[in-house]
Amino acid sequence: MQDWDLTSIGLVLIGSSITVAGTIIGVMLLGVRIASAPYLLLTSAMLIVMSAGLIIFSMPREQS
């Protein structure tokens, strides 16, 4: 089994955040009112940006 590194943690975090945001948007399109939906979507967007930065930060850099 492989060890967890920053890239795999970032990939799991970005995938789950996109899934949660899509689910919230889908439920809202069906007409269900969610009082905390803007805050949840903002939190998901922040997690997506943070995990993308984590993935970019954890990539090995080429020495030139």
pLDDT digits (tens, 9 = 90+) for 24-59: 999 999 999 999 999 999 999 999 999 999 888 887
Question: Has residue 21 been placed in a domain?
Answer: yes
pTM comes to 0.81
pLDDT at 63: 67
Say how far apart CA 8 and CA 30 lie, in whole Å.
33
Number of domains the chain contains: 1
Question: Has residue 30 been placed in a domain?
Answer: yes
Question: Has residue 64 been placed in a domain?
Answer: no
Question: Has residue 63 been placed in a domain?
Answer: no
Instruction: Indicate if the pLDDT at residue 6 is higher than 90.
Output: no
Q: What angle do CA 37, 34, 11 make, to 5 degrees?
A: 40
Say how far apart CA 10 and CA 25 lie, in whole Å.
22
The parent domain of residue 24 ranges over 6-58
Q: How confident is the model at residue 64 (pLDDT cuts 50, 70, 90)?
A: low
Residue 13 CB neighbour total at 10 angstroms: 17
